[in-house]
């Protein structure tokens, strides 16, 4: 097992894609351990890792995001946020956070939002007089809302892995997402007044009404998804299909930015992104299976229960471990590996699996922006054309705010479970 771990670390340091790393490490362990009979089971495990109706929501939500982006929803969300908040000090930074909150209800992926919004917001903020490092840091931090505010790929995968309701996970993510958004706004408020960041001119009332009217079709999409899930009209997977339909209707008939000629590119982008995610899920399933075969879950459970009998201390220790894991392993891969290990332990401690699911997803999302190897940092640095050192310094206050929110929802699970309990 130690030799396989060495292979895993070396491949990570060589920056080989994590899906390939997990696959090579798993096969290496099987060969090194001499359990060659397990190789016959690998293809079946690859397939079974993807054989879930719930996972169908992932390509559908990805398609919905592509349709809405091409259909003009993204730029209208940014315009709406700018009209409302642009005239305050550090107004464009507020716009960045609010626009990302809106987009989070459509895209559901932090890395996708960092890439998309960095292209839009970083040049706009720099033109208004903001430092490029602060603009990139604000965009990257606000994109953390993508996997937390529903719909979320991480919630879908956790629901499939743990057997919990994906719809309930979506509802449980609403309050933590709002708390994160508010904490980022407070950070911007402090920095804005401390450094006297610029503000835009106040928009005429006519522009406010015009932007508000144009945003209604875009806001219908997340609204119908959430209401439909709460009321039981459709499942999360069905809601993803509804989101695609609404994206087509809004893009073609309301905004008229979506054209027939855009459809091939939209389908290709969706297929490529889906292939990347599904390969990662399949390989992570193999890796998790190898860990289970080695008895790692049982060893960790015994070690954790030997450290403390307190569920709260257990969760705080878990936070530390997950934050470290999130800095080196992709969130989806980490989720598939970790969930089977932790499920027996949270049952022993009497922890609600919905509460734990939100904690684990927030941890792994924060890991995207945590130095030294957070993937989100490198995406923001590359697209924003900012040195990683300057970006890390600018993003630090946002990370502190994220840690505070994480501790709050860890200590008070009622915050997470409030909306799901109302819907029951």
> Mind giving me the DSSP string for 214-273?
HHHHHHHHHHHHHHHHHHTSS-HHHHHHHHHHHHHHIIIIIS----GGGHHHHHHHHHHH
Q: Which helix (H) or strand (E) holds 301?
A: helix 296-307
The domain locations on the chain are: 1-48, 53-423
**Spatial separation of the C-alpha atoms in residues 244 and 256, rounded to whole Å:** 16
Q: At what angle do helices 353-367 and 331-349 cross, to 10 degrees?
A: 150
**Spatial separation of the C-alpha atoms in residues 99 and 86, rounded to whole Å:** 12
**Spatial separation of the C-alpha atoms in residues 423 and 418, rounded to whole Å:** 9
**Spatial separation of the C-alpha atoms in residues 394 and 134, rounded to whole Å:** 6
* Tens-digit pLDDT string for the chain (424 aa): 667 777 777 877 777 777 788 888 888 888 887 777 777 777 877 777 677 776 777 788 778 878 877 877 777 777 777 787 777 777 888 888 888 887 776 666 677 778 777 877 888 888 878 888 888 899 888 888 878 887 778 888 898 888 888 888 988 998 998 999 899 999 998 888 888 777 777 777 787 788 778 778 777 777 777 777 777 787 777 877 888 888 888 888 888 888 888 889 989 988 887 887 788 778 877 877 777 777 766 676 667 667 778 888 989 888 888 887 777 676 777 888 788 888 888 888 889 999 999 999 898 888 878 766 566 777 788 777 888 788 888 889 999 999 999 999 999 999 999 988 887 6
At residue 405, the pLDDT reads 94
At residue 374, the pLDDT reads 67
At residue 251, the pLDDT reads 84
**Spatial separation of the C-alpha atoms in residues 384 and 119, rounded to whole Å:** 7
Torsion, Cα of 94, 256, 273, 236 (10° steps): 80
At residue 340, the pLDDT reads 81
Torsion, Cα of 315, 50, 374, 104 (10° steps): -80
State whether the Cα torsion 119-122-125-127 is positive or negative. Answer: negative
At residue 398, the pLDDT reads 92
At residue 1, the pLDDT reads 60
Nearest to 275 by CA among 119, 109, 111, 58: 58
Q: What's the burial of 157, exposed, middle or buried (CB within 10 Å: 0-12/13-18/19+)?
A: buried
Its pTM stands at 0.80
């Amino acid at each position: 097992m130690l030799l396989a771990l060495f292979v895993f670390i070396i491949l990570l340091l060589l920056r080989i894609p994590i899906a390939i790393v997990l696959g090579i490490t798993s096969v290496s362990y099987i060969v090194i351990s001499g359990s060659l009979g397990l190789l016959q089971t690998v293809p079946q495990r690859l397939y079974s890792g993807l054989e879930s109706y719930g996972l169908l929501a992932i390509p559908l939500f990805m398609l919905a995001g592509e349709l809405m982006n091409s259909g003009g929803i993204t730029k209208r969300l940014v315009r709406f946020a700018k009209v409302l908040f642009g005239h305050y000090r550090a107004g464009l930074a507020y716009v960045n956070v609010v626009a990302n909150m809106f987009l989070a209800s459509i895209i559901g992926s932090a890395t996708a939002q960092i890439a998309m919004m960095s292209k839009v917001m970083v040049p706009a903020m720099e033109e208004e007089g903001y430092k490029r490092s602060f603009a990139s840091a604000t965009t990257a931090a606000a994109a953390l809302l993508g996997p937390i505010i529903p719909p979320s790929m991480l919630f879908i995968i956790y629901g499939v892995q743990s057997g919990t309701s994906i719809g309930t996970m979506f509802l449980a993510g609403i309050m933590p997402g709002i708390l994160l958004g508010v904490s980022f706004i407070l950070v911007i408020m402090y920095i804005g007044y401390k450094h006297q960041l610029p503000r835009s001119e106040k928009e005429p009332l006519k522009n406010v009404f015009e932007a508000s009217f144009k945003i209604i079709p875009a806001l219908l999409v997340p609204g119908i998804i959430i209401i439909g899930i709460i009321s039981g009209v459709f499942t999360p997977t069905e809601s993803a299909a509804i989101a695609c339909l609404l994206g087509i209707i809004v893009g073609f008939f309301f905004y008229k930015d979506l054209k027939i000629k855009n459809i091939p590119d939209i389908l290709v982008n969706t297929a490529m992104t889906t292939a990347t995610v599904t390969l990662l899920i399949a390989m992570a399933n193999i890796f998790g299976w190898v860990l289970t075969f080695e008895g790692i879950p049982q060893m960790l459970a015994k070690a954790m229960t030997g450290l403390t009998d307190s569920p709260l201390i257990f969760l705080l220790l878990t936070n530390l471990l997950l934050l470290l894991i999130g800095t080196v392993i992709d969130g989806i891969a980490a989720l598939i590996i970790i969930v089977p290990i932790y499920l027996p332990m949270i049952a022993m401690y009497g922890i609600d699996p919905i509460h734990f699911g939100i904690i684990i997803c927030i941890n792994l999302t924060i890991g995207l922006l945590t130095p030294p190897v957070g993937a989100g940092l490198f995406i923001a640095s590359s697209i924003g054309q900012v040195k990683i050192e300057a970006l890390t310094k600018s993003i630090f206050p946002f990370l502190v705010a994220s840690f505070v929110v994480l501790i709050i929802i860890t200590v008070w699970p009622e915050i997470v479970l409030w909306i799901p309990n109302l819907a029951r």
